[in-house]
Structure 1
Amino acid sequence: MTSGSAARRRSTRRTAALARAVEEGLIGPSSPVVGLLDVDGVLAAVDALDEAFRGPAPVQHTFAAKACGLVPVLRLLAEAGMGCEVASPGELEQALAAGFGYDRLVFDSPAKTVGELEFALAHGIAFNLDNFQEMARVDRLLAGRSAAGPIGLRVNPQVGAGAIGAMSTATATSKFGVALRDPGAVDAVIDAFARRPWLNRLHAHVGSQGCPLPLIAQGIRAAYELAERINERLGHPRINGIDIGGGLPVNFEDEEDRPTYADHVAGLRDAVPGLFDGRYTLITEFGRSLLAKSGTIATVVEYTKSAGGRRIAVTHAGAQVATRTVFMPDAWPLRVGVFDASGRPKEGPTETVDVAGPCCFAGDLTATGRELPVVEPGDVVALHDTGAYYFSSHFSYNSLPRPAVYGYRTGADGRVRFALVREAQSVREVVEESGLAQADALVALRAT
């Protein structure tokens, strides 16, 4: 994805952006938590993805909108040539608002309603069926007509779990897709394609963070072999596209990108060489790996204290922005940087520190037992590698408002320019969202 020198340049850009954000007041006493996204880093990741898959096989790269459902981010990716994978009506509308055409969308919700299926069919949006009941529903909606867009079937190759069970979607009992190793499943899938001329894709996604590349390749190989079997059985290339999902793990231990997209493709070429010979259009759905390394959450240290001999830095970024890290710290650890009140990296002696958030429960910690430069009130703590999920998957615990998000670019002269991606939510907006307009509703109901 990036070389070591490119990773160092990204780190340099981030350091400059943090200093500039403090200087411009984007982070400080009146805005104690903010998200920062390195635009150049995102575009470099897109270029690396394109380069890795370059070859005879046509490829449609889509961005998994769940990783960062912010319209300006989606529009940036649309302008960079990406498509968009959506898994809900909200993500679909965000993608359309961002400028993705219907022909650049893939709709993957496992719980698509009749209305959502009708919309996809009417506009030629590609989608993947999750089960045979959904397939029967599409039968009724099409009523013998041809489909305007590609329609695939998601299969579960049941190849096993990675290190994080919740991120593994090819286990024996995964909720996604048709389980291929269940009795009679393969024959049922082949029969389904034989009976439905409008079915023309297969989709397999093994999982994401915590799933090793060989496991992902094993699942994709199962989908490829099934496609070959179906096409041979039907005597013509009915299946013309294979959606291989995304799921490239992200390295949260240091600055380097590993594994890279090139590593992933090399593994796939070894395990499934026929996948790349040009007979199938490949569809990808990467999300976290495109954005994570380019994002930073910066937060002001409000207080420092000690408890049981452990130093604690109390900040304004906790479970509301780093939900997975707080509740599953071993699976989702984050690198932490400490900057002084002017936004400059702190150096010198270190101490063992727990970094705490503002939420009112004891486990609201974004890092525990870290060796960090001495942290003081007014310093800025940076949570690195937070470009995916951390910006747009807000957890409204304690009614904490959503922070502002800014994108940034660094010019040849080293000057940082910012662009507002999402405004900070005001406390008034939090109150309005909590039912302010209906404040008297229950009192009135009680009175009657």
Structure 2
Amino acid sequence: MTQTPSASGPPTTPKFAHAVRRAVADGLLGESQPVVGFIDTQGVRDSVEALQEAFAGTPQVLHTFAAKASPLVPVLRLLASYGMGCEVASPGELRLAVDAGFAPSTIVLDSPAKTREEIRLALALGVAVNADSLDELRRIDALRRSASPSAVGLRVNPQVGGGAIGAMSTATATSKFGVALRDPGARAAVVRAFAERPWLTRLHVHVGSQGCPLDLMAAGVAETYRLAEEINAHLGERRVTSLDIGGGLPVNFADDEVRPTHGDYVTALRTAVPDLFDGRYALVTEFGRSLLAKNGFIGALVEYTKDAGGRRIAQTHAGAQTATRTVLMPGSWPLRVGAFGPDGLPKGGPVLAQDIAGPCCFAGDVVAYGQELPELREGDFVVLYDTGAYYFSSPWAYNSLPRPAVYGFRTTAGGGVRFAPVREAQTLESIAAESGLGHADALVGLGGADGRSSADGGSGADSGGDAHRASA
């Protein structure tokens, strides 16, 4: 293996060094917990304040946090305490938002496949609902039997194009989201929908997130603003009173710098839609990744190292079960890696190109290829930076690997670190329960292909009934 001297010290960011050292010293990260997620609460607060400052002076604006970016109740409650609302896209996320303490009037429900029960509950709670289609509006017609405090909007697809990552682009010609405005007759149908429904008062747009340039995002908002003006002019009144302009600000994964900033985004909006901030329309935003990504990291134990075909591989506990997007789409979701010793201190010395592999049982479970790091050894730790959103908070249950513990932390003025639990590591008992342990004999009771139980010779139907009654 060829080692290269490092001219500028260890290739690691100093931002979280104190937290890593303290977590190792306190036993939060180590042999008993070989992979853990961490969230910097002061960093989260700073990000929220930067968002609020960017929109300062806007007469009416509700900033909501996209719950999908971190569906953890303590994180959501922290954001609520900082004055955020919450955007949810499923019954589960709605439940988490309510449990976290968000007022219903600050919750927005978005989803392309809402059930009738989901809509009914949102309307009863007073949660805002953005319909994803004209058919969904007709469903709301039937469910909205009495006046509801819920704001109701319609999502439109301005079809302004996609960014660098197709899976993150939601304003393409064939996107599954919203009413496609450039399709024949669609724009007129949207105007009619508002004319027929006095309670329909909001337009919603979201162009995409990672890989989408600011001018593309601003173009989608501008097109939606023009549609709102068209609807109001056609009806001769201010029927559309608010615009949900979504979120999706991209994150820089190359270094510690925050770019683009929320201020950059507002500048792009002011250029594309100068009148957006004059107060005629209340605004709603739905940011997620941009608020949390750089305020969290994953720490993982190096279990083994090996050489294969001239390549050095560090086998760690951080793989596809936590860094799913990076493993499956490494070109679109690259992560920086830091190297730390068994004492939790940053490693120094000559650097070596190394692959950082995970524990999942498939060949592609590698979170970083050829990282130039001080040589890793058994008992060291790696840190995956910029993982505060979508990574450890939304784990993949591949190989029945347990969900990692998550801790929040704050660095004190004297350089100390205080931790607070966010989520405990999943137990093997929990994995077994989620995997149907309580119904372990149910399929045996159904019998074989001939319909007879191999256990007692009874009929499959009878055995199945007994199994169902036993589990009920």
- 1:104 is aligned to 106
Most deviating of 259-268 and 10-19: 10-19
| Match status 1:19 vs 2:18 | no
Structure 2 unaligned segments of length 5 or more: list them.
Answer: 1-11, 448-452, 454-459, 461-472
**Structure 1 residues 234-272: Cα deviation after superposition (integer angstroms, max 9, x where no partner):** 111111100000010000000000000000000100110
**Structure 1 residues 285-341: Cα deviation after superposition (integer angstroms, max 9, x where no partner):** 000000000110000001111111010000001000000000000000001000000
Is the contact between residue 355 and residue 368 of structure 1 (CA under 8 Å) also seen in structure 2?
A: yes
Is the contact between residue 207 and residue 216 of structure 1 (CA under 8 Å) also seen in structure 2?
A: yes
- 1:157 is aligned to 158
Q: How is 1:322-337 mapped onto 2 (pairs within 5 angstroms)? A: 322-337=323-338
The one of 23, 33, 36 equivalent to 1:34 is 36
CA distance in 2, matches of 1:212, 1:13: 27
Consecutive aligned runs of 4 or more in structure 1 exceeding 3 Å deviation: 10-13
| Match status 1:282 vs 2:283 | yes
The one of 74, 82, 85 equivalent to 1:83 is 85
**Structure 1 residues 172-214: Cα deviation after superposition (integer angstroms, max 9, x where no partner):** 0000000000001110000110111010000000000000000
| Match status 1:400 vs 2:401 | yes
| Equivalent position amino acid for 1:124 in 2 | G
Is the contact between residue 13 and residue 410 of structure 1 (CA under 8 Å) also seen in structure 2?
A: no
CA distance in 2, matches of 1:345, 1:65: 33
- 2:358 is aligned to 357
- 1:339 is aligned to 340
CA distance in 2, matches of 1:118, 1:350: 58
Structure 1 unaligned segments of length 5 or more: list them.
Answer: 1-9
**Structure 1 residues 360-392: Cα deviation after superposition (integer angstroms, max 9, x where no partner):** 100000000111111111110000000000022
Deviation at 1:146, TM superposition (A): 3.6
Deviation at 1:15, TM superposition (A): 0.7
Is the contact between residue 214 and residue 265 of structure 2 (CA under 8 Å) also seen in structure 1?
A: yes
Change over 3 Å in CA distance of 1:372–1:183 after alignment to 2: same
- 2:130 is aligned to 128
- 2:293 is aligned to 292
The two structures have a TM-score, normalised by structure 2, of: 0.92
Is the contact between residue 305 and residue 314 of structure 2 (CA under 8 Å) also seen in structure 1?
A: yes
CA distance in 1, matches of 2:190, 2:13: 48
- 1:233 is aligned to 234
**Structure 1 residues 134-173: Cα deviation after superposition (integer angstroms, max 9, x where no partner):** 1111111224x44322100000000001000000000000
CA distance in 2, matches of 1:102, 1:310: 54
SS at match of 1:17: helix
CA distance in 1, matches of 2:217, 2:15: 33
Deviation at 1:11, TM superposition (A): 5.2
Deviation at 1:73, TM superposition (A): 0.2
Most deviating of 244-253 and 118-127: 118-127
- 1:4 is aligned to none
Is the contact between residue 13 and residue 338 of structure 2 (CA under 8 Å) also seen in structure 1?
A: no
CA distance in 1, matches of 2:13, 2:284: 31
CA distance in 2, matches of 1:179, 1:67: 26
Deviation at 1:12, TM superposition (A): 4.2
- 1:253 is aligned to 254
- 1:185 is aligned to 186
The alignment yields a C-alpha RMSD, in angstroms, of 1.0
CA distance in 2, matches of 1:56, 1:363: 47
| Equivalent position amino acid for 2:62 in 1 | Q
CA distance in 2, matches of 1:113, 1:426: 32
Bigger Rg over Cα:
2
Deviation at 1:394, TM superposition (A): 0.8
CA distance in 2, matches of 1:279, 1:213: 23
